[in-house]
Structure 1
Amino acid sequence: MNERLLKLQSSPYVSRMGVRFDDHGDELTAILPYDEWLIGNPLIPALHGGAIGAFMEITASAGLLAFTELAALPKPIDVAVDYLRPGKPQDVYARASITRQGSRVANVRVDAWQDRRAAPIANLHGHFLIKPVKTSG
């Protein structure tokens, strides 16, 4: 795991949520381990939508840090989340894909799932302000 990704994982916000990253070559899977405090509706029970959205935003940032050379952490410009089904009280997994990257803005899509990747519980589409590392020459 690269140094920037480790820095993100050790930030207070990300570490409080318990988010981990499983890095295998060109695939990065983010993991949100289930914890009782993530439940938003105890009657169902279902994970809080804000926790799922925050997890996917973290995953988007992690994807940018893992697969692009950035001089600073990406900053969200706007983020849209589609909640597709209730999150059960169990671990959530997510993967980010960079759909377009310019010199200042990157478009990222994140899919989050639990039981099967083919049955996502939520999707995120976001635009992030990025600062690529300047190369000499």
Structure 2
Amino acid sequence: MPQLEQMQAAKESGDYSAVLDQIPYAKLLGVVMREENDLPLFELPFAEQNIGNTHLPALHGGVIGGFLENAALLHLIWARESFEVPRTIDFSLDFLRSGKAQTLFARCDITRQGKRVANVRMTAWQEDESKPVAVARAHFLLS
């Protein structure tokens, strides 16, 4: 099945497992992708192994960063309707508060997409989308 047809089938069914298969690290983290209001919403269900600070407890910063980078990659795959995984050029992450030991959500916004490079902004939150845990910006090389 051609990539465009595969992506359309995933969008119609809501089953993005074929998209997640393109990024093994996203599968390892347990990233869940679904659509909400015709846009992708990403979820990182809580898992004990994602705890970095056991005294608080708080999510590991690397897990939050990896989740946001993977969310951006998956968002670009979704938006471009191509299973080709973009390559990260740079990634900048700002932590705004501790990630509690609970599910983390993310949304992405493509701020600019050219033929070769895309700029993406990502936001991660837990209980309230207006109180982000972290925000990130990245540039990706498109195939």
TM-score of the aligned structures, taking structure 2 as reference length: 0.85
| TM-superposition CA deviations, 1:69-88 (whole Å, max 9, x none) | 44621110000000000000
In structure 1, the partner of 2:80 is 68
Distance 2:136 2:75 in 1: 13
Gaps (5+ residues) in structure 1? 132-137
Q: 1:41 aligns with which of 33, 53, 70?
A: 53
- Does the aligned pair in 2 maintain the 1:70–1:130 contact within 8 Å? no
Q: 2:89 aligns with which of 77, 95, 99?
A: 77
Change (3 A) 1:51 1:125: same
Is 1:116 equivalent to 2:134 in the alignment? no
Give the percent of matched residue pairs that are identical in Structure 1 and Structure 2. Answer: 42
- Does the aligned pair in 1 maintain the 2:106–2:123 contact within 8 Å? yes
Q: What CA RMSD, in Å, does the superposition of the two structures yield over aligned residues?
A: 1.9
Q: 1:55 aligns with which of 50, 64, 67?
A: 67
Q: Which moved more, 1:91-100 or 1:61-70?
A: 61-70
Shift of 1:109: 0.3
In structure 2, the partner of 1:17 is 29
Aligned length: 131
- Does the aligned pair in 1 maintain the 2:111–2:119 contact within 8 Å? yes
SS of corresponding position for 2:100: coil
Aligned AA (1:117): E
Is 1:7 equivalent to 2:25 in the alignment? no
Shift of 1:30: 0.4
Gaps (5+ residues) in structure 2? 1-5, 11-15
* Bigger helix share: 2
Shift of 1:68: 1.6
Runs of 4+ in 1 over 2 A off after TM superposition: 5-8
SS of corresponding position for 2:129: coil
